[in-house]
């Protein structure tokens, strides 16, 4: 598949994986570099430096393991991810239950360094590995009449304290319009910092849609359905006024309880300042998907 999309975050922006534990020390030891990054014109708004593996895997939302930010890191180890089976059903030519290896066979895994913006107004930069969802959809064969893709997360009550405590309704479900799902920015992530996805990050397979609020990026997927009607989605069902189906990052549409104009970049030290939130999280190339739509209404 031709990749029309080019990354504005390069591999050179990635903190070497082995260096994450000593990040602050390293930054202190390379004050010149830090100063250059801060002095650059774009840096004040977005330094584009990926968060450390430690940050990415110890500040999480994964309610199946509890609602606290450190609950997933503490509890997700119990999730069984091998064997893993993914059901593909609905309006597809090749429905079935596939192992992860079968599903991903022949697909090109590449690195994508993406900004990630949670609806709670914090953000990170994450170096994912994954494949384009469009390539998977081509492989399973999308039939006429399919207009949305619905996703479902695994439910393992015995291994998931948040499921046992019914902190919200499970399974966690999400969905995308077919053209959003087919956009080359939309990936199925299988890895992080060059290693398989940690469990708290949504192992072994999760969606990453970088221009939408983080809750659209559903984790630990066991079902992918091609459907005709807009599917129900977890946060929209919980509170439709606060969480729309589209949930595109939009600094001009505030959450009813807080502003979305700015965000706090996770990570300490030199880069901890608040920064302006960008329309579509800075991924302007998706704007054409919403031509003619009122994004204050279809939020
Ligand atoms: N199954 C499932 N997927 C989920 C969530 C969840 O609670 N359960 N939380 C969402 C939210 S709100 C965010 S911000 C991201 C967080 O991803 P991260 O923990 O890898 O940063 O996962 C999303 N995917
Ligand atoms: Mo989120």
Residue having the nearest C-alpha atom to atom 10 of ligand 1:
215
Cα of 168 from ligand 1 centre, angstroms: 13
**Given this model, what pLDDT does residue 293 score?**
97
The residue-averaged pLDDT of 24-38 equals 33
Residue 179 vs residues 29, 139, 188, 190: alpha-carbon distances, Å:
46, 16, 15, 22
Confidence of residue 15 (pLDDT cuts 50, 70, 90): very low
Residue 299 belongs to a domain: no
Q: What is the pTM of this model?
A: 0.88
Q: Which of 62, 171, 196 to mutate to test the pocket of ligand 1 (most atoms within 8 A of CB)?
A: 62
Q: Which ligand is the nearest neighbour of the Cα of 79?
A: 1
Cα of 219 from ligand 1 centre, angstroms: 6
Residue 174 belongs to a domain: yes
**Given this model, what pLDDT does residue 48 score?**
73
**Given this model, what pLDDT does residue 35 score?**
32
Residue 152 belongs to a domain: yes
Instruction: Give ligand 1 pocket residues (Cβ under 6 A).
Output: 60-64, 118, 153, 172, 201-202, 214-215, 217-220
Percent of the chain exceeding pLDDT 70 equals: 83
Confidence of residue 2 (pLDDT cuts 50, 70, 90): very low
Tokens of 293: 């739509």
Domain region containing 94: 11-290
Number of structural domains (the chain) is 1
CB 257 within 8 A of CB 111: no
Q: What is the pLDDT of residues 185-236, one digit of tens each?
A: 999 999 999 999 999 999 999 999 999 999 999 999 999 999 999 999 999 9
Return the ligand 1 atom nearest residue 124 CA: 21
Residue 6 belongs to a domain: no
Confidence of residue 18 (pLDDT cuts 50, 70, 90): very low
First to last CA, the chain: 31
CB 217 within 8 A of CB 77: no
Residue 2 belongs to a domain: no
Q: What is the pLDDT of residues 50-60, one digit of tens each?
A: 999 999 999 99
Residue 297 belongs to a domain: no
* pLDDT above 50 (res 39): no
Residue 5 belongs to a domain: no
Percent of the chain exceeding pLDDT 90 equals: 81
**CATH number of the domain within which 96 lies:** 3.90.420.10
Residue 211 belongs to a domain: yes
Closest by Cα among 131, 127, 130, 123 to 113: 127
**Given this model, what pLDDT does residue 42 score?**
40
Q: Which of 166, 202, 206, 238 to mutate to test the pocket of ligand 1 (most atoms within 8 A of CB)?
A: 202
Confidence of residue 40 (pLDDT cuts 50, 70, 90): very low
Confidence of residue 280 (pLDDT cuts 50, 70, 90): very high
Bigger pLDDT: 26 or 289? 289
**Given this model, what pLDDT does residue 22 score?**
35
């Amino acid at each position: 598949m031709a990749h029309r999309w080019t990354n504005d975050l390069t591999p050179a922006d990635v903190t070497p994986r082995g260096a994450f534990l000593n990040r602050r020390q390293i930054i202190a030891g390379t004050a010149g570099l830090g100063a250059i990054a801060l002095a650059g014109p774009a840096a004040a708004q977005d330094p584009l430096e990926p968060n450390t593996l430690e940050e990415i895997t110890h500040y999480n939302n994964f309610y199946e393991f509890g609602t606290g930010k450190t609950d997933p890191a503490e509890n997700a180890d119990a999730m069984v991810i091998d064997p893993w089976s993914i059901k593909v059903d609905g309006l597809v030519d090749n429905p079935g239950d596939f192992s992860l290896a079968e599903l991903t066979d022949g697909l090109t895994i590449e690195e994508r360094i993406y900004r990630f913006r949670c609806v709670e107004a914090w953000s990170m930069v994450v170096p994912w590995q994954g494949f384009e969802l469009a390539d998977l959809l081509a492989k399973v064969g999308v039939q006429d009449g399919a207009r949305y893709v619905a996703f479902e997360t695994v439910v393992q009550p015995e291994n998931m304290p948040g499921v046992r405590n019914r902190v919200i309704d499970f399974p966690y479900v999400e969905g995308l319009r077919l053209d959003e799902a087919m956009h080359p920015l939309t990936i199925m992530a299988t890895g992080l910092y060059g290693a398989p996805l940690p469990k708290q990050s949504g192992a072994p397979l999760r969606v990453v849609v970088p221009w939408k609020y983080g809750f659209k990026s559903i984790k630990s997927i066991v079902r992918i359905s091609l459907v005709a009607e807009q599917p129900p989605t977890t946060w929209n069902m919980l509170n439709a006024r606060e969480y729309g189906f589209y949930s595109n990052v939009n600094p001009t549409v505030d959450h009813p309880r807080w502003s979305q104009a700015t965000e706090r970049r996770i990570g300490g030290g030199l880069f901890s300042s608040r920064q302006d939130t960008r329309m579509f999280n800075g991924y302007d190339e998706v704007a054409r998907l919403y031509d003619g739509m009122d994004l204050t209404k279809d939020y």
